[in-house]
């Protein structure tokens, strides 16, 4: 209330004078408190939830070490970032993340013990709590997953699809298909891609099986298609069976070659290489030369049978012509390269390709086909075709090879060199024209 003159009057007291100092509260500590900073144990978390009413739910904590972390096992606010997440609410998901604006701000929690008069300061994390509707999160994840699968299908279509599927994908990209037509068009593209992939896979498997079967039916030694070295394409144990390898005798050739004594041959190929190989310590190569010489003598001993076939002579006649070789070895060659003592076109090609493969092994997979051409009494084109069937490239010698072999230009023009190349390239089968 106020007086009549308009001035406020003081409140009436009850006779007790007002104190000049604050009232003393019982239990309030007096004296000096000890302050200590503690970093033992897990640091506490200070959470801010502006505009949210957080229910009583539990959170799961996730920590990640930063680049400044030296000891990843000890979690500190300055070396680790912490995230809290909870899915305990029936409809909402709660996530507490560090505030980006407070990356340079440190937060602490102080705990005072009045009995011991100690103030403990603990570094703490400061997080901002947000909530999201769970159904919305699930829809976002589903859309991202669908988009990822669609992109993968389009990529597969671009790599392995047919012209139809590639055209559909390009049309979708260029014409900016609307949302209403996107689902139907995507389904059409996916179906086209899946059908194409199934057809392509089946065709690839069929083509691989047909190619393998066609290669197995060829009259050539069985090659190793996965070989990385020349020696592994036609290994010696494939060209010469182990049983025949033990029967091949080379001691006489080796002794005469080292003593420089003459060795009589019916074949130019063996005569031109026996001295160099016999003086070396490569017994396997000398055995390969001896076995090739046997095949050349065996081919020369064959008689004619029909228009294109050849016939193996009788046993006593064959043994007399090949008396320089063990009888068991001659009989093994007869059974290997003939059927019922006859060689049709397939068996002859099988014999010739083995000779060519042995010549590649002896000449380190680069051989002059002239000697074999003369020994087999064939043309360059025919012998070259046999080397082609083995995966070789046949052509005239290079200028460096001509100089190394001491050949004139005229001789080089009439010479053909067979070289085994990796990866193997076999000639394609000829297609018969339809009448």
Per-residue pLDDT, 283: 92
Radius of gyration of the chain from Cα atoms?
47
> Looking at the DSSP assignment, which residues form a beta bridge with residue 337?
none
Per-residue pLDDT, 70: 61
What pTM, to 2 d.p., does this model score? 0.53
Give the percent of the chain with pLDDT over 90.
Answer: 28
> Is residue 153 left, alpha or beta, with left meaning phi > 0 and alpha meaning psi from -120 to 50?
alpha
**Tokens at 37, concatenated:** 């900073």
Phi, psi torsion values for 23, nearest 5 degrees: -70, 140
Cα–Cα distance measured from residue 410 to residue 67, given in angstroms and rounded to the nearest whole number: 75
Cα–Cα distance measured from residue 232 to residue 86, given in angstroms and rounded to the nearest whole number: 63
* DSSP one-letter string for 320-364: HHTTTS-HHHHHHHHHHH-BTTEE-HHHHHHHHHHHHHHHHHHTT
Cα–Cα distance measured from residue 158 to residue 142, given in angstroms and rounded to the nearest whole number: 24
Judged by average pLDDT, the poorest of 34-38, 71-75, 382-386, 394-398 is 71-75
Q: Is 272 helix (H, G, I), strand (E, B) or coil?
A: coil
Q: What is the pLDDT of residues 139-183, one digit of tens each?
A: 666 666 665 667 777 777 777 778 888 888 777 766 544 444 445
Which of the residue ranges 4-8, 41-45, 50-54, 364-368 has the most confident prediction, judged by mean pLDDT? 364-368
**Tokens at 390, concatenated:** 């083995």
Residue 65 banded pLDDT, cuts 50, 70, 90: confident
Residue 435 banded pLDDT, cuts 50, 70, 90: very low
Residue 348 banded pLDDT, cuts 50, 70, 90: very high
Per-residue pLDDT, 22: 55
Report which secondary-structure segment, H or E, holds 64. strand 60-65
Q: Please, what sign has the CA dihedral across residues 173, 177, 182, 188? A: negative
- The structural domains of the chain, with segments of one domain joined by +, span 34-136, 137-197, 230-420
User: 256 burial class (0-12, 13-18, 19+ CB within 10 angstroms)?
Assistant: middle
Which residues, 6+ apart, have CB-to-CB distance to 223 below 8 Å? 215, 233, 234, 390, 391, 424
Q: What is the pLDDT of residues 293-331, one digit of tens each?
A: 999 999 999 988 767 789 999 988 998 999 999 999 999
Per-residue pLDDT, 406: 85
The rounded mean pLDDT for the chain is 80
Q: Is 314 helix (H, G, I), strand (E, B) or coil?
A: coil
Helix 283-301 and helix 251-258: axis angle, to 10°?
110
Q: Where are the alpha helices (DSSP H) in 226-279?
A: 230-233, 236-239, 242-247, 251-258, 268-271, 274-279
Give the percent of the chain with pLDDT over 70.
Answer: 74
Q: What is the mean pLDDT of residues 237-260?
A: 92
Per-residue pLDDT, 29: 58
104, pLDDT greater than 80: no
């Amino acid at each position: 209330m106020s007086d009549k003159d308009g001035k406020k009057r003081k409140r009436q007291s009850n006779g007790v004078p007002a104190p000049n100092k604050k009232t003393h509260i019982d239990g309030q500590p007096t004296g000096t408190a000890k302050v200590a900073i503690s970093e033992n144990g897990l640091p506490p978390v200070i959470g801010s939830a502006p505009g949210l009413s957080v229910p009583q739910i539990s959170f799961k904590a996730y920590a990640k070490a930063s680049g400044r972390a030296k000891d990843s096992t000890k979690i500190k606010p300055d070396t680790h970032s912490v995230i809290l997440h909870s899915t305990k609410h029936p409809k909402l998901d709660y996530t507490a993340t560090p505030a980006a604006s407070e990356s340079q701000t440190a937060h602490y929690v102080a705990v005072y013990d009045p009995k011991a008069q100690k103030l403990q300061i603990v570094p703490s994390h400061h997080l901002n709590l947000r909530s999201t509707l769970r159904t919305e999160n699930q829809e976002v994840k589903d859309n991202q997953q669908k988009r990822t699968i669609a992109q993968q299908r389009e990529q597969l279509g671009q790599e392995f699809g047919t012209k139809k599927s590639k055209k559909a994908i390009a049309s979708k990209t260029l014409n900016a298909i609307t949302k209403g037509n996107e689902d139907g068009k995507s389904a059409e593209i996916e179906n086209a891609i899946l059908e194409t992939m199934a057809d392509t896979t089946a065709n690839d498997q069929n083509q691989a099986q047909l190619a393998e079967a066609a290669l197995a039916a060829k009259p050539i030694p069985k090659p190793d298609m996965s070989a990385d070295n020349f020696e592994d394409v036609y290994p010696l144990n494939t060209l010469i069976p182990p049983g025949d390898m033990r029967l091949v005798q080379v001691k006489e050739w080796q002794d005469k070659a080292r003593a420089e004594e003459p060795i009589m041959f019916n074949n130019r190929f063996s005569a031109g290489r026996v001295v160099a190989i016999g003086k070396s310590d490569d017994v396997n190569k000398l055995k390969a030369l001896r076995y090739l010489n046997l095949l050349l003598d065996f081919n020369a001993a064959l008689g004619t049978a029909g228009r294109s076939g050849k016939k193996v002579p009788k046993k006593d006649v064959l043994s007399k012509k090949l008396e320089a070789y063990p009888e068991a070895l001659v009989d093994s060659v007869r059974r290997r390269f003939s059927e019922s003592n006859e060689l049709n076109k397939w068996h002859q090609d099988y014999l010739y390709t083995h000779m060519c493969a042995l010549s590649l092994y002896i000449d380190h997979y680069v051989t002059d086909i002239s000697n074999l051409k003369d020994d087999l009494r064939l043309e360059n084109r025919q012998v070259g075709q046999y080397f082609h069937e083995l995966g070789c490239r046949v052509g005239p010698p290079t200028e460096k090879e001509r100089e190394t072999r001491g050949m004139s230009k005229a001789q080089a023009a009439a010479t053909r060199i067979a070289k085994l190349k990796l990866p193997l390239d076999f000639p394609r089968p000829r297609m018969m024209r339809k009448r």
